[in-house]
Amino acid sequence: MNKVGNDFIEGTRCPDYSTVDLVLRVPEPPHELPVKKGQTVIKLPRPKQIKLPDMPVRKAIEGWEPVGFFPRSMIDLKQLSYLLWCTQGYKKTVAGTIEIRNIPSTGSRNPLETYFVAGEVDGLETGLYRYLPKSHSIVAERIDSGLTLEMSTASLNFKLTTRAAVTFLWVAIPYRTVWAVGNRGYRSALIEAGHACQNLILAAAGLELQVAPIDLFHDDLVTKLAGLDPETQWPVYLAAVGHSERNVAL
């Protein structure tokens, strides 16, 4: 194994809990990035408002296959609301501060922020948005008609992201979990991005949508596109969502 891999595994082994910030009484980091002054917050339709056909889990799993091309795709706000809720939706708070969401999270620390580029979402301008799980809302981070093309360059995948209805971007803020479990939290952030994307695949199947996960992308360009702090906020996974055409060569 390459030294980078060895160093990562060695550096993220089960911690000495006496050394973690939680035990040392360092203040807990926030569970969600704040909304900045002047940003527009948009309340989403309640997920229960969308009616879905019965979709057996087996059928959803068997129905997924690699996507090589999207025709021009569009979804509406109810569908977007449902996809966001399934991937990071807030359920309840227990013991005062522990947030339970719709995917497993180490220590319920929830280190992911969900961004997305809306290409063709009925009711939204083209741009970059961020999901606010607690209030089931989204905030407009950047309205820009050129963002789908910019994302296609950053994602190294022109055929998918320029035609997708929406491209999800999961951003890890590892310290939320590192605060509680030490360096092991870096593993957790990567694993949880996988949980979120798998939920997206299953949820999208019920809407007759396909998901193309993208884990090979230009980190610096995605960081710049989303206006992230490269020291504390890391893009870890992308997923384009749209209507697929079967039997298209990859």
- What are the C-alpha distances in Å from 33 to residues 29, 133, 159, 230, 233? 10, 11, 32, 15, 11
- Distance, first Cα to last Cα, the chain: 30
| pLDDT at residue 1, as a whole number | 55
Question: pLDDT tier at 32 (50, 70, 90 boundaries)?
Answer: very high
Fold of the 13-242 domain: NADH Oxidase (3.40.109)
pLDDT attached to residue 53: 82
Per-residue pLDDT tens for 99-115? 899 999 999 999 999 99
**Structural domain boundaries in the chain:** 13-242
pTM value is 0.94
